[in-house]
Amino acid sequence: MGGLFFAWAIGEGIIGWRWAKLKAPPTPGVLMVASGIFLGCAILAEYPPARRVATAFAFAVDLGVLMNVVGKAPSGTTGWPPPLINDPSVLLPTANTKPTVSNTTATAPVSSPGDAGVPE
């Protein structure tokens, strides 16, 4: 199972490297699909005779993704950074916003220790 972990970590690293070249964070869907492939390999590897095949397939997936990514200029529209919010109806904090703290405290009526709040 250690081999599958390393194959998964290498695959996630390749995905992270590719998205870093695009100057954007990886989308959750990309990470989820890749993790799903390796999860399927891990389930297959639970059957002892198929363990080596599942591990070899996991590293083959890494190799295929790496061959697809290396040597090509990254392309694609990432939508990152997100557009600015210019809508005046949206309240956003600014650098000049100071928190407001009230110096008043609520006071409760004081009762004597023997008084349980029961009227006489």
CA distance 33 to 61: 12
Q: Which residue has the tokens 């363990």?
A: 51
pLDDT of the residue at 95: 73
Number of domains in the chain: 1
Asked if residue 76 belongs to a domain, the reply is no
Asked if residue 30 belongs to a domain, the reply is yes
Count Cβ atoms within 10 A of the Cβ of residue 23 and give its class: 0-12 exposed, 13-18 middle, 19 or more buried: exposed
pLDDT of the residue at 110: 58
Asked if residue 91 belongs to a domain, the reply is no
Asked if residue 38 belongs to a domain, the reply is yes
Domain that holds residue 38: 2-69
The pTM score is: 0.59
pLDDT averaged over the chain? Answer: 80
Give every residue of the chain whose pLDDT is below 50, as ranges.
none
Asked if residue 57 belongs to a domain, the reply is yes
Asked if residue 9 belongs to a domain, the reply is yes
CA distance 65 to 36: 15
Asked if residue 100 belongs to a domain, the reply is no
CA distance 29 to 106: 50
Per-residue DSSP letter, 50: G
pLDDT of the residue at 46: 92
pLDDT of the residue at 93: 74
Asked if residue 10 belongs to a domain, the reply is yes
Count Cβ atoms within 10 A of the Cβ of residue 51 and give its class: 0-12 exposed, 13-18 middle, 19 or more buried: middle
Count Cβ atoms within 10 A of the Cβ of residue 33 and give its class: 0-12 exposed, 13-18 middle, 19 or more buried: exposed
Q: Which two tokens stand for residue 110?
A: 């004081």
